[in-house]
Amino acid sequence: MSDEEQGGLFAKMAISLGGIHETLGKMHKIQNSWIQRDTYRPRDLILQLTGISTSTTVAFTLGSTGVGGLGPEQGEIWLVRRISVGGVTPGTTVSSSSAQVFQSPTDPNQLGGTGPTANWVASFSSLPGVQFFSNRQIVLKNGDNLFISVLGPATNQQIQANVQIECYNDGGYKAVVDL
């Protein structure tokens, strides 16, 4: 093989390797965009809280002061989409009961189940009840709390609260809000 033929062969190999490198680079960009897109997708959570009344109030807390710190972690944002409060099954009536929902850094249950009107986000005049919330209506960040105070249940009445949440990472939430 002459020097000229070898030079042509090496040139073809270099062009071929360059094309493979370019293709791999494109595939890497596509894979990174998939990973980033999945990072921005919300996770749907349904949190089920159950308590038994020992007096005339049952309190549920989601957030940094909740049992086990059940709330948004650092870098997460929760959008509350639905809250339902009642007995163990949807048809179970909780006699003479109502519920108030507050978003507050201070526990309104320490104030006898009521909190400042500015922090009041929902009210159930009778139980069972369900309320739906639009996007960005109730936003919980790390350190925020959502309190559900059930007032007036009979002693030993089992109460259940279900909270449906869209959980975003902070960057994903900002990307959705900026759309």
Q: Buried b vs exposed e over 17-28: b needs ≥16 C-beta within 10 Å?
A: eeeeeeeeeeee
Is residue 82's pLDDT more than 90?
yes
Same-domain status, 25 and 103:
no
Q: Residue 179's pLDDT is what?
A: 37
**Tally of structural domains, the chain:** 2
Coil/strand/helix, residue 13? helix
pLDDT per position as a tens digit, 85-136:
998 877 777 877 899 898 876 665 565 555 566 688 999 999 999 999 998 8
Same-domain status, 124 and 149:
yes
Q: What is the pTM of this model?
A: 0.70
Secondary-structure percent of the chain, ordered helix, strand, coil, rounded to 5: 30, 35, 30
Percent of the chain with pLDDT over 70: 67
Q: Residue 55's pLDDT is what?
A: 77
Domain enclosing residue 79, as ranges = 43-177
Same-domain status, 140 and 101:
yes
| The two three-digit tokens of residue 97, written as one number | 């009961």
